[in-house]
Amino acid sequence: MAAQMQVIREFLNEMDALVARTVLDAHQIPAVVLRDDAGGMLPAMHLLFPVRLAVRVGDAAQALAILDAPVDDDGIGDAWREPDHATEES
């Protein structure tokens, strides 16, 4: 018997939906991206039929909590944003 699916979010483009699915995959929550754009031939159809992200009904609450959680800025990547003055020669 197939698991019941629930659409938890709609997006205007496929890329945002794929990023959200990747976040859920990283938390071991299977998700699918549903789109109706004639197999990619008519991407403008996303304006009429948004790209949807669906998960199992039992995972919906946890998936929404993960997607709605604030991003934790733990300083990763700061070395790329700011020059390292300690290694510069005077």
CB-count burial class (<10 Å; 0-12, 13-18, 19+) for 55: buried
Number of domains in the chain: 1
Q: Would residue 90 count as lying in a domain?
A: no
Q: Would residue 79 count as lying in a domain?
A: no
pLDDT in tens, 14-23: 899 999 999 9
Domain membership of residue 42 as a residue range? 5-69
Please say if the pLDDT value at position 63 is more than 80.
yes
**CATH number, domain with residue 12:** 3.30.70.1530
Does the model's pTM come out above 0.85?
A: no
- Predicted pLDDT of residue 79: 52
Which residue from 33, 25, 12, 24 is spatially nearest to 61, judged by alpha carbons?
24
Beta bridge partners of 55: 6, 31
Q: Please tell me whether residue 14 adopts helix, strand or coil conformation.
A: helix
